[in-house]
Every structure is written in structure tokens, then in C-alpha cells.
Amino acid sequence: MDMNPFRYKPAGFLVVLASLVCCTASLSAADVPKGVILVMIDDIGYGDIDGLYPSSLETPHLDKLYRQSVRLTDFHVGTTCAPTRASLMTGRSVNAGGVWHTIAGRELLREDEQTMAEVFQANGWRTGIFGKWHLGDGYPFSPRFRGFDTAVVHGGGGVGQGPDYWNNDYYSGVDYQGDPTDPDVYWENGETFEADKFCTDLWFERSQRFVKQSVSEGKPFFCYVPTNAAHGPFNAPHGYKEGFDGLIENVDDNMGRLDAFLTAEGLKDDVLLIFTTDNGTTGRRTGGLRGRKGSHYDGGHNVPCFVRWKNGGLGGSPDSARDVTPLTAAMDLLPTFMDMFDLQRPSGGHPLHGMSIKPLLLDSDAEPQGRTIVVDTQRTADLNKWSRACVMRDEVRDGKIVHKWRLIRSSAEADPELYDFQADRDTDDNLAEQYPEVVQSLSAAYDQWWDAISEDWQPYPPFVVDPEKESDLTLMSHSWIGANMSPWHQRAVKSAVQGTNTHSIRFDKPGRYQIELRRWPREDGGPLGGQSGSQEGKSLPIAQAELSIEGVGKQKQQVDPDATAATFEMDIQTQEPTKISSMFYDQQGEPLGGAYYVYIRPADVP
């Protein structure tokens, strides 16, 4: 199954595959496992795992997993959170699903993209997610609408961000100092619940409950555990090191508890366990790589990936552990699962870009393939060619990798840099002048990738109002479109940071709708003109509110600053994507900014 569709051939030609072709390996997995557990940790890299690069951290359980695993040593993700998660879930390249930023509507996975969970679900597997989704909140983006039977998640891209439950802070019971704290509130299949433990502990505990239930029902399972740790805020749990390091060591302890659980349930050898991370570290330990999170050098996107399934011939002990050195990527996991477990995709999916790495996993003598992979860092409203881009290629001769090329360009105007990662892991020896033909070939590969990605580019994915799917649609300024930045965090709401005030939206059912404009979320209950319900943030002298829906109309009304919402009703007949925007004004008619929270429901629903 060939990802890229941009596959390098020794003669220098690139081909785009028009169809999906499954690879077959001489070795095959004995049987389908009891299930797949995919753990993706946030914002840590090679240098944050003590067994790989000695540090002051203590990660004995990850060290043990490393020693028991098939390790993908040249495994690549996006350089930031959401692009990685989109690529992982869809088996497609970064940017392909409309996700190339972490906010501002470019974190929303288009509704026509097919997810890994949907593939597993269509083949009779139980599917669950526990932790961080970061591909959109609200219909049709939330994980419960994207193939997950069970979705236990926080909102946005991190605990405490705008779409998350108000004033969540990782803690439930006690804080870092051991003092009592209010419980965080998360969502299970769209319904809120109070957490009874620290967030990372909760994700792992609930995932184990899901695994046990799946086994009791005799169903294979896909269990996705994407933690928000060690993403900021760096609120480590009580009893651990402070900050970032404490979050990592808590993750390590949870990996140990997961291993103990699998052993106690008799599942350890018959579950495919994958551990990886979503981008390079945000800390100071880069593991000998150049760059960190957000960088187009390897430190931004070259991350650990450990694979263990003893009964399937993938590690399980130090004697069977080994390294897989060819170039691989997060987008390869979906086609690999399909190939290994004979999973069939539902109809209607876009072509996969990832390739099955089943031969590399199961056969230590499998020959590497010359392939080209591109990652970049956009973080803008619109795609920009050569924006902090890295073009990677394994050059293979006589069945061996002779070069691991990295072509780096920070912008279209920047001079190209060329490195051989195989000989120069920290990429400080620029070979661009020495190998101009390689620069030219990799540049051509990038152009072909860019053309394919650009053809796939569509307008901002719309939120969809469909009362049969979601009784109330909640819009938050985290996803305001039309700018590089937006008030994406609760801190920004408290500080009254301004933005475009606009969301892309579609009403699937014509009718009359009630639309609430709020400064603070419903659960906070703060007044339009004052501080939040917890007496935080900046007051605004709000006296008027305006609602506008493109192609439908505009309404404006006086409001009581002590009211919690300005409520409008509109008849909406269009079913085409449109834009909804809001604005608050003071008594003199001067604009103050838009509603950070917008709630939409049918007008006849109490």
C-alpha cells in the first residue's frame, strides 16, 4: 500500500498512484490480535525518554517497552499537534485533510475525510478514544461522529483551551501541592462528567475499562490513547517532579500500569501496542536532533515509535526486539493495519498516501524502498509553498540505504539546505552545493507533492447544524476563520482578545433557529458586561449585540449587560455553506469584539 502517492524511483521519476495497492509480505501475522492500542503522547521527543538518551528523567517503563519492541527509528509526524493527528487518522499526508494549523478553522478535519476509527468500525471492531482529539469539536468534527463508539475527551487542543470545559486545569481531587481542587469536567460521547483523577491517569484508566469490556464481548478493539500531557499547561500531578518532567514521568507510570493490566488480563502477548508522540519536544532535551516542536528540522517531526505484538512476531522480548531503519510516517499506520488485518475501507474515502510497512515490520530481511515524504509547518490561514518544508528521501542501492536525504527550505525565497541524515544526525553539514542534482530531484518531488495537496485544498470546513446529530451546536472563537490567529485559549477570552468573529457553517435542515451570543460559556454563567462567574477576566461595557449570517440576514438588539446571553431567532432556509459572525457594541455603538461562545438550536426546543 503506497502512501506517498509520491514514490521515488532510482531513475529520478516520481509517480502518483491512482489506486491503492496492498503490499504482501512473505511473513504474515499469525492471526488478528485481540486488539490494537495506539498511545500518542503530546510534545515529547527522543531526548525525553531516558533509555534512549540519558537524562535526569526516570522512564523505566518506556525503557522496557523500547527494549521489547520493533522500533521505527526514522518515523515522522507533523511538526505540531493537529496536522499529525489528521495524517495519522486518515492515512494521508500532512495538509491533505484541510488540517495545517492547530486553530483558526484549519484544525478541522473535513467531513469527507475517512478516519482510521471508521475503517476499524466498519470491519466490526469496537473503537474508543481517550484524551486529546484536536480535529474539531462539534458536529461533524467531534470523534463521536468520526467512527469512535466511545469518546472520552477534553475540548480543543489542550486542557484549558477555549473549547475545553471552563477552568479545567488537569486536576481532580488534589493539585500539584496536594491541596484540594475542584474536579475537571470532560465529555463522554457528548455528555459531561466530573473526573475523579488526574487527566492522564483518567485516560489510561478509562481505556483499560474499554479494553476489558471489548474482550468480554468477544470483539476486537481499536483503543486510541492520545494524551494531552506533556502539552502545556505544565501542571504535573501531586507526587511527581514539577512541570514538564513530572508530566512525562506520570505518562511513564501509566505505561507501566497499562502493561501490568495487559499482563493480568492475559492480553500482553496478543495485543498490538504502539507508542509514539505527535511532534518533537517542547522541552530542552532534543535527543541529538536539530530543532524542537514546530521545526522543519528532524527535531520537530522525527519521533520515537515502538511496536510490540509478541504473538504476531513483533518483539515481545529483548531477543526479538530490533530496529527498522527505513523512512516511515504516521500516515503509514492505517494502510499497515488494513494490510495486516485485511480491513476493508468503507466506500467514498480519498486515496491513501501512506504505504503499508507490514513487510518491514514482519521481515527483518525486507529490502527498503526508496520513497519521498514531505512535512512542513504552515500555521497560517492559507497554505504557503515552501513554508518551513522538509523533503525526505531514502536513496536505496542494491537493497541498502546509502543516503537519507533531507532537503530543507524555510520559505520559497530561502536558499535550499541539503543534509544526509544517515551520516549527519544533527544536520549541521549542508551538502547543497556538493549535490545539486539531489537538490533538483527533491525540489521536483516537492513540486509534485504541492500540486497534489493544492488540488485537494478546499474552503474552510463548515460546522454543521443538524439537530438529529447534536441538539445544540457550540461554536467557540478557537475556530474563528480568516486569520492566522484567533482567541484560542480561555486566557484570551478573559483578556478579551479580538479576532475575525466568524465561523464557517452549514444548516442541514431549513427552519427557525435560536442563536445565543455569549461572552462566557454556559457552564460559567458570567454576565455579558462583567467578569466571568468566577470573578476573572476583563469586563466589557456591552450594550448591544449583532448577529449576521451571510445570505440570510443581520439582526441587532439592545442587551442588558447583566444578562448571560443575547438571544436571537432567525429563519434559515439555505443549506449551502455560509458564514456566521457576531459583534458586541458599547452604548455609543463602538465595536467591542465578537461573541466567544455561540450556541445554536432549533427555536422550538426548550
Q: Which domains does the chain have, with CATH numbers?
A: 7-370 (3.40.720.10), 463-602 (2.60.120.260)
Residue 27, pLDDT > 90, answer no
**Region of residue 579 (left: phi > 0; alpha: psi -120 to 50; beta: else):** beta
- Quote the DSSP letter at residue 444: H
Q: What is the pLDDT, as a whole number, of residue 456?
A: 66
- Rounded to whole angstroms, the Cα distance separating 276 from 280 reads 11
Find where cell 519521533 sits.
303
Q: Please tell me the pTM assigned to this model.
A: 0.95
Render pLDDT for 199-214 as a digit per residue (tens, 0 to 9): 999 999 999 999 999 9
- Rounded to whole angstroms, the Cα distance separating 429 from 417 reads 9
Residues 6+ apart with CB under 8 A from 29: 309, 312, 313, 340, 341, 362
Mean pLDDT of 240-247: 97
- Rounded to whole angstroms, the Cα distance separating 63 from 321 reads 12
- Rounded to whole angstroms, the Cα distance separating 453 from 448 reads 9
Render pLDDT for 139-173 as a digit per residue (tens, 0 to 9): 999 999 999 999 999 999 999 999 999 999 999 99
Q: Which residues pair with 582 in a beta bridge?
A: 547
CB 464 within 8 A of CB 21: no
Q: Phi, psi (5° rounding) for residue 247?
A: -60, -40
Residue 7, pLDDT > 60, answer no
C-alpha 206 chain-centroid distance: 20
Collapsing DSSP to helix, strand or coil, 249 comes out as helix
- Rounded to whole angstroms, the Cα distance separating 404 from 513 reads 56
Collapsing DSSP to helix, strand or coil, 437 comes out as helix
- Rounded to whole angstroms, the Cα distance separating 79 from 375 reads 8
Cα(first)–Cα(last) distance of the chain, in Å?
51
Neighbours of 25 (CB within 10 A): 17
Mean pLDDT of 371-394: 96
Residue 24, pLDDT > 50, answer no
Question: Cis (ω within 30 of 0) for the bond into 541?
Answer: no
All three cell numbers of 494? 478573559
Amino acid at 157: G
Q: What is the pLDDT, as a whole number, of residue 26?
A: 35
The dihedral over CA atoms of 7, 10, 11, 16, expressed in degrees to the nearest 10, equals -10
For residue 414, CA distances in Å to 295, 385, 386, 389, 567 come to: 15, 12, 9, 11, 51
Q: What is the pLDDT, as a whole number, of residue 1?
A: 34
C-alpha 267 chain-centroid distance: 28
